[in-house]
């Protein structure tokens, strides 16, 4: 649930409305798991993050959240409840943040009492990246990482992502009587059940020779194109300015930081060779046949835009019949130190780390 526009991960969400988030969540899980598993086509769905990450203090990703139970249930938990009841997703992931002082990865009330026992979640719960360890080294909830593992597993987390010391520490915790074998058996059962359902014990590995028959095929590309077209939102088409191909513009100017920037693909994508993608500028050149398309490169980096090029663009604009400005945030993962949105960012800000109640109290004392 994206409820703070300062949050850098708004682009990873389905929006601010519980109804919309619920409907999209249900559709996504059904699309991935296909109601019942087809071993050749299905994958596990993971619903995430449980919960409240979109209202962290100051819009900061992973920052603490203070919220009443009514709003928590009616807004932030409602999509989880409906999706679990209607689609039975096989995995779930807690959030980075604390809720009312309790880290989600240590919140037994949230993961076990509500999600498992009340909502009927039957899959396994997997930690987010090193968030079990964070109970000790960031949230300062436990004196050691081993203690953090005990608290998190006891609270309901079944699978660790990731780290080699986890298994050794879990064995020690069981030997010491701090975790029961029954709890470990329950976690392993859910994970093994998922693997059996996917046929991973009979067919563990992808056949690389056949990958080109199932990956990036024409049917997938057509589906992706259809999704992109349906996802476009046109706020206004004053004087029927669009489509450009139907107009008679002699000179068209394209400018802006996202004019020729593959960051428009969003966060969580790999950098692509130039031949693999088309930018806004590419699209305008292809569509505006018969028009002369001009462009000025002002730079993609909002922090380091070229002022001379901006002045050139302003001067050129006076001679154009149509000007298209491609602006917006940059969440491209490969622009890690310069991106203005995405994980871990506030929109338009410098990188931010995971913030805890303990961090905030220390800052207040200063």
Active site residues: 128
Determine if the peptide bond prior to 109 is cis (ω within 30°).
no
CA distances (Å), 164 to each of 91, 148, 161, 224, 244, in order?
22, 15, 10, 37, 56
Determine which helix (DSSP H) or strand (DSSP E) holds 358, and give its type and residue range. helix 357-365
How many residues are there in the chain? 366
Is residue 294 helix, strand or coil?
Answer: strand
The first and second tokens of residue 162, run together, are: 């990731």
Residue 316 and residue 253 in contact, taking contact as beta carbons nearer than 8 Å: yes
Phi and psi torsions of 351, nearest 5°: -55, 145
Ramachandran quadrant class, 251 (left: phi over 0; alpha: psi -120 to 50; beta: rest): beta
Q: How far apart are CA 293 and CA 91, in angstroms?
A: 49
Tokens 């059940």 label which residue? 193
Long-range contacts of 201-208 (CB under 8 A, 24+ apart): 203/39
Residue 312 CB neighbours (<10 A): 15
């Amino acid at each position: 649930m994206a409820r703070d526009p300062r949050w850098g991960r708004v682009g990873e969400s389905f929006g601010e409305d519980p109804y919309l988030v619920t409907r999209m969540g249900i559709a996504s899980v059904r699309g991935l798991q296909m109601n019942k598993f087809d071993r050749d086509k299905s994958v596990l769905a993971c619903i995430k993050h449980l919960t409240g990450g979109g209202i962290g203090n100051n819009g900061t990703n992973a920052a603490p959240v203070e919220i009443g139970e009514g709003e928590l249930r009616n807004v932030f938990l409602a999509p989880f409840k409906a999706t679990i009841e209607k689609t039975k997703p096989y995995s779930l992931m807690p959030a980075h943040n604390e809720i009312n002082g309790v880290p989600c990865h240590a919140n037994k009330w949230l993961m076990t009492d509500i999600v498992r026992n009340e909502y009927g979640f039957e899959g396994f719960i997997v930690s987010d990246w090193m968030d079990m360890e964070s109970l000790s080294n960031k949230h300062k909830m436990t004196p050691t990482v081993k203690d953090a593992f005990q608290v998190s597993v006891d609270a309901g987390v079944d699978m660790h992502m990731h780290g080699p010391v986890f298994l050794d520490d879990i064995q020690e915790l069981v030997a010491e009587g701090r975790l029961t074998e029954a709890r470990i058996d329950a976690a392993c059962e859910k994970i093994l059940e998922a693997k059996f359902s996917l046929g991973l014990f009979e067919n563990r590995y992808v056949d690389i020779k056949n990958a080109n028959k199932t990956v990036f095929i024409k049917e997938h590309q057509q589906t992706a194109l259809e999704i992109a077209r349906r996802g476009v939102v046109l706020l206004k088409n004053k004087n029927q300015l669009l489509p450009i191909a139907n107009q008679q513009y002699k000179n068209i100017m394209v400018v802006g930081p996202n004019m020729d920037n593959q960051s428009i693909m969003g966060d969580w994508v790999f950098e692509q060779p130039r031949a693999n993608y088309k930018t806004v500028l590419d699209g305008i050149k292809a569509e505006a046949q018969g028009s002369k398309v001009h462009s000025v490169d002002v730079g993609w980096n909002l922090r380091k835009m070229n002022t001379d090029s901006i002045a050139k663009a302003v001067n050129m604009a006076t001679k154009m019949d149509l000007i298209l400005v491609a602006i917006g945030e940059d969440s491209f993962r490969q622009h890690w130190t310069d991106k203005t949105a995405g994980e871990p960012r506030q929109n338009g800000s410098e990188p931010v780390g995971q913030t805890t109640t303990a961090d905030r109290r220390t800052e207040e004392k200063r």
